[in-house]
Structure 1
Amino acid sequence: QYKQVEQYMSFHKLPADMRQRIHDYYEHRYQGKMFDEESILGELSEPLREEIINFNCRKLVASMPLFANADPNFVTSMLTKLKFEVFQPGDYIIREGTIGKKMYFIQHGVVSVLTKGNKETKLADGSYFGEICLLTRGRRTASVRADTYCRLYSLSVDNFNEVLEEYPMMRRAFETVALDRLDRIGEYRGESLLPYLLPWQP
């Protein structure tokens, strides 16, 4: 598979520094193993696929307080909809003001949450971000930049709403964190963002 990547880089005559970044990306994403995980999991039965996904994500679940005391069925529903992504140092994972379509869970790495006025907050293993705009259907309230190589799991807005519709109490857990983050951003900017949070619908 990587031979195709090399052919692509050669065909487009990509500069050496860009080729190195692409090489480093594949090294960190696949750690020397090249295979199509989605294709492999897609051929398995649903129970076996869920068991494997739960096993593969065990460190993420163990590091995340949100999952620690949650209904195991909720955790499984969430994990089966996550998409694995890798970001390199300096990459902007999300940008303030853009429409949010995904939220992210940090398996490993450090990111900086940046708001206007150069206020910066660090998040690391076991944290998540990007949920605010999925709850408000608004634009991103901050930018998030990778400080290290980051191994993340993303969740699309459609899958987010699908899971939380089935587990409404977990929606409240997300809303509690979102309200706190919105409040802190609002205090810093001298304005209140709380009214923009959508009311919970049972």
Structure 2
Amino acid sequence: GAMDSSSRQYREKLKQVEEYMQYRKLPSHLRNKILDYYEYRYRGKMFDERHIFREVSESIRQDVANYNCRDLVASVPFFVGADSNFVTRVVTLLEFEVFQPADYVIQEGTFGDRMFFIQQGIVDIIMSDGVIATSLSDGSYFGEICLLTRERRVASVKCETYCTLFSLSVQHFNQVLDEFPAMRKTMEEIAVRRLTRI
């Protein structure tokens, strides 16, 4: 049968990536990292989700987002007791991101532009002296502290494993917490506890 369009799109994208890497004469370790990323993130199929989402109604977008994020929502304790309108609001705003082992998701001392929810994987929270304060895995979130305080990042976050994360931008974060002030309070309480640990 004819190859389906999503596989074809993936193959064409990889061809572009290969050409780009040759053109830039990237070293082989970097080429391998990039190819591994594509393989892990897309698993052989590419879709223009944004385009698809632009065409459907808000109601369908919410249903799809809730469905796609169902495992995440079920594993994040923070969502479990929350108002379902709040959860729907957040999941429709989340961006899917993939990081590889040893990647830094967050660098200490930088300003935060987003926070993260871990769908799958393990990250280490690393202090300025290089000590690992704690590790977080599936269902945890991080990066919210500096969005609440508007200060710089207080620690670095480094991936132990491949990590599939969902990020929430600072603009969306503030928008949602303005709509649901009780959740801001909950987050602030958790952040205070975290800061004292750090």
TM-score (norm 1): 0.89
> Residue deviations 1:44-88, cap 9 Å, x none?
111111101110000000000000111111001001111111001
- Are 1:138 and 2:171 counterparts? no
- Are 1:127 and 2:170 counterparts? no
- Which residue of 164, 167, 175 corresponds with 2:177? 164
Alpha-carbon distance in structure 2 between the residues aligned to 1:27 and 1:42: 26
- Are 1:20 and 2:16 counterparts? no
- Which residue of 9, 15, 33 corresponds with 1:3? 15
- Are 1:43 and 2:60 counterparts? no
- How far is 1:118 from its partner? 3.1
Equivalenced residue count is: 185
Partner of 1:200: none
Alpha-carbon distance in structure 1 between the residues aligned to 2:23 and 2:95: 29
Alpha-carbon distance in structure 2 between the residues aligned to 1:165 and 1:127: 22
Partner of 1:78: 90
Q: State the identity %.
A: 58
The 3-state SS of whatever aligns with 2:65 is: helix
Alpha-carbon distance in structure 2 between the residues aligned to 1:143 and 1:133: 12
Runs of 4+ aligned residues of structure 1 deviating over 3 Å after TM superposition are: none
Partner of 1:152: 165
- Are 1:67 and 2:72 counterparts? no
- How far is 1:115 from its partner? 0.9
Root-mean-square deviation (Å): 0.9
The AA in structure 1 aligned to 2:175 is E
> Residue deviations 1:156-189, cap 9 Å, x none?
111000001000111111111100011122xxxx
The 3-state SS of whatever aligns with 2:93 is: coil
TM-score (norm 2): 0.91
> Residue deviations 1:81-117, cap 9 Å, x none?
1111100101111011111111000000000000133
- How far is 1:119 from its partner? 2.9
Partner of 2:107: 95
The 3-state SS of whatever aligns with 1:173 is: helix
Alpha-carbon distance in structure 2 between the residues aligned to 1:40 and 1:4: 23
Comparing 114-123 with 163-172, which one deviates more in the overlay?
Answer: 114-123
Q: Which runs of 5+ in 1 are unaligned?
A: 186-202
The 3-state SS of whatever aligns with 2:33 is: helix
The AA in structure 1 aligned to 2:93 is K
